[in-house]
Structure 1
Amino acid sequence: MKNSIVIVDDHVLIANALSSIISNFEQFEVLYVCENGLELQNKFKQDEAIPGIVLLDISMPVMDGFETAKWLKSDYPNVLVMALSMQDDEQSLIKMIKNGAKGYMLKNVHPKELENALLKILKNGQFFPEWATSKVLSTLNDDYTGFSNGIKISDREKEFLKYTVTEMNYKEISEKMFCSPRTVENYRDSLFEKLELKTRVGLAVYAIKNGYDV
């Protein structure tokens, strides 16, 4: 029995091309295609087949990928959401993770890479690009809390963590925290060392996992 996929993308040509590509994957099949999150909601409400994976575009009219992922997380938590986007910035990745996405791929990937990503999200429950780093992924594991090894995080570091999930840059965060940009950098570097992370994405995922996000 093949693993079921639904594609949500407002670009009809891209969606149809994706459907055609996936139809050649031995272990996967596309159930149907939607142009936005609202159409997906309507399909689910009409008792259409619920897929194991939703391939979700981010930039869409009516109901975008962020909102759709959040709805799926709330109402259909067993559906694996794989964001498939042209956006390769950290903020989009962070927001999709916060809203429940378990995977993230760029639309310019080779079909073989897409197939491998789909296999990995089924096997591991998650798949993110290399720039998310293995340390980031470790914070997504259910058994990771950040406190089991006696890590102590100050109140100001916790305050900084909640802002890492936002779209603010470090200068804007410093203004929110009423301190200098250099002080914010010190909080960042301290947390990098304590949590053994290397990127803001890692800090953001840690904040989400541990309830520090805004």
Structure 2
Amino acid sequence: MKQSIVIADDHLLIAKAISAMIDGFRDFHVLYEVENGLKLQEKFKQPQNIPDIVLLDVSMPHMDGFETAFWLKTHHPEVAIMALSVQDDEQSLLKMIRNGAKGYLLKNVHPAELENALHTLRTKGMYFPEWAASRIVLTLSAGEHKAEQDITISAREQEFLTHACTELTYKEIAEKMFCSPRTVESYRDALFEKLKMKTRTALALYAVKTGLVKL
């Protein structure tokens, strides 16, 4: 079954071009396009209008991508958010991630990368290109990141990292690891402390970036 996508972008020509591109992908189709977050909220009042993925422009009038991402994270956490932007600055990137985005692409992305990004988002739970992953790791480290050789990660923490790179919930990870959710949280918190990070996304990106986890 094809995955459904909604595009939120105030530039109609861009939204239509992206829509036509995606409709050419084998495993995805576009439900509709909207100009901003307020329009998206209206559409979501009807269950049939709720997609698997929202491609979300960062800069929109009335309700921008940051506000819309936070609303989606709060009210529809089951919907995956992929940010689309002309901005590649760290502040926009990190703010979108904090507000719930699981991916971030620039609008000049090649169609093949967009298709790959959508597949990865659905199968792995996130997608960030190399430039974004590098900036996230460096920024979240904020100069406090220890040298890799000074960090000891246990086998169980490594196992947790592997599962953290998927879309599994903490409860589901606990079931996979045959332990309690509280124990899983202890692995997470220990890694937060060791790596000086604060989010699961940052842990996952670090794991992929350093080769601890192979996607």
Q: In which range does the TM-score fall when normalised by the shorter chain?
A: 0.5 to 0.7
- SS of the residue corresponding to residue 198 of structure 2 reads helix
Deviation at 1:102, TM superposition (A): 0.6
The residue number in structure 2 matching 1:182 is: none
- SS of the residue corresponding to residue 207 of structure 1 reads coil
Does the C-alpha gap of structure 1 residues 77 and 16 become closer, same or farther in structure 2, counting only changes over 3 Å? same
Structure with the bigger percentage of helix: 2
Does the C-alpha gap of structure 1 residues 47 and 129 become closer, same or farther in structure 2, counting only changes over 3 Å? same
- SS of the residue corresponding to residue 59 of structure 1 reads coil
Q: Which amino acid aligns with 1:124?
A: K
Q: For 1:50 and 1:30, how far apart are their aligned partners in 2?
A: 11
- SS of the residue corresponding to residue 10 of structure 1 reads coil
Q: Kindly indicate whether residue 19 of structure 2 is the aligned counterpart of residue 19 of structure 1.
A: yes
Deviation at 1:208, TM superposition (A): 4.2
Q: For 1:148 and 1:42, how far apart are their aligned partners in 2?
A: 40
Q: Which amino acid aligns with 1:8?
A: A
Does the C-alpha gap of structure 1 residues 110 and 145 become closer, same or farther in structure 2, counting only changes over 3 Å? same
Q: For 2:57 and 2:124, how far apart are their aligned partners in 1?
A: 22
Structure number with greater CO (CA < 8 Å, separation at least 6) is 1
Q: Which amino acid aligns with 1:207?
A: K
The residue number in structure 2 matching 1:31 is: 31
Q: For 1:148 and 1:59, how far apart are their aligned partners in 2?
A: 34
Deviation at 1:129, TM superposition (A): 1.9
The residue number in structure 1 matching 2:73 is: 73
Does the C-alpha gap of structure 1 residues 111 and 149 become closer, same or farther in structure 2, counting only changes over 3 Å? closer
Alignment of 1:11-160 (within 5 A): 11-133=11-133, 136=137, 141=165, 145-147=188-190, 151=194
Deviation readout 1:19-59 (Å, 9 max, x if unpaired)? 00001000000000000000000001144421000000000
Deviation readout 1:41-99 (Å, 9 max, x if unpaired)? 00011444210000000000000000000000000000000001001011111000100
Q: Kindly indicate whether residue 192 of structure 2 is the aligned counterpart of residue 207 of structure 1.
A: no
The residue number in structure 2 matching 1:157 is: none
Q: Which amino acid aligns with 2:19?
A: S
| 5+ residue gaps, structure 2 | 141-160, 171-183, 202-215
Which protein is bigger by CA-based radius of gyration?
1
Q: For 1:21 and 1:93, how far apart are their aligned partners in 2?
A: 24
Deviation at 1:149, TM superposition (A): 9.2
- SS of the residue corresponding to residue 190 of structure 2 reads coil
Task: Note if contact 2:192-2:198 (Cα within 8 Å) is conserved in structure 1.
Answer: no
| 5+ residue gaps, structure 1 | 152-194, 196-202
Q: For 1:21 and 1:86, how far apart are their aligned partners in 2?
A: 18
Q: For 2:47 and 2:200, how far apart are their aligned partners in 1?
A: 32
Identity of aligned residues (%): 61
Deviation at 1:150, TM superposition (A): 7.3
Does the C-alpha gap of structure 1 residues 20 and 90 become closer, same or farther in structure 2, counting only changes over 3 Å? same
The residue number in structure 1 matching 2:175 is: none
Q: Which amino acid aligns with 1:145?
A: R
TM-score by length of 2: 0.67
Does the C-alpha gap of structure 1 residues 126 and 42 become closer, same or farther in structure 2, counting only changes over 3 Å? same
Does the C-alpha gap of structure 1 residues 15 and 209 become closer, same or farther in structure 2, counting only changes over 3 Å? same
Alignment RMSD (CA, Å): 2.6
Q: Which amino acid aligns with 2:190?
A: F
Q: For 2:30 and 2:70, how far apart are their aligned partners in 1?
A: 22
Deviation at 1:146, TM superposition (A): 4.8
